[in-house]
Amino acid sequence: MLSENKYQRSDMRDFMQYTNKSKIEPELKNLKIAAQFVEYSTRRMIKELEKCIEDDSRIRHTKISRNVEGILDDPEKMKQFTAKYGKIIEDP
């Protein structure tokens, strides 16, 4: 079929790998904010786990994940995050 239509198959792997390495400024900023949020939420999770260990109590994985996700829904916790890492700018 390709030869009938005079199309030629070519390997785009190198080109795609090169273009995927290039990031524009908003992508870089988004990656930086995501990494900062991971650090922030992980520190909170570690504190929670340490408290469970000290208190010799049990906690379900689902509760831990809900607590991490809940940071995004809690304006006070997000206020603490933005105070430490800066304001998050949303797309217009």
pLDDT in tens, 46-75: 999 999 999 999 889 999 889 888 988 999
Q: How many structural domains are present in the chain?
A: 1
The structure's pTM equals: 0.63
Tell me the mean pLDDT in the region 77-83.
Answer: 88
Say how many C-beta atoms besides its own lie within 10 A of residue 81's C-beta. 20
50 belongs to a structural domain: yes
Burial class (CB in 10 A: 0-12, 13-18, 19+), 75: exposed
Please give the Cα distance from 26 to 66 (Å, whole number).
28
State the average pLDDT for the chain. 84
The residue segments making up the domain with residue 54 are 40-83
Question: Does 31 map to a domain?
Answer: no
CB 14 within 8 A of CB 8: no
> What pLDDT score was predicted for residue 26?
81
Name 58's Cβ contacts closer than 8 Å, sequence gap at least 6. Answer: 52
Instruction: Say if 61 falls within a structural domain.
Output: yes
Where does the pLDDT of residue 18 fall: very low under 50, low under 70, confident under 90, or very high at 90 and above? Answer: confident
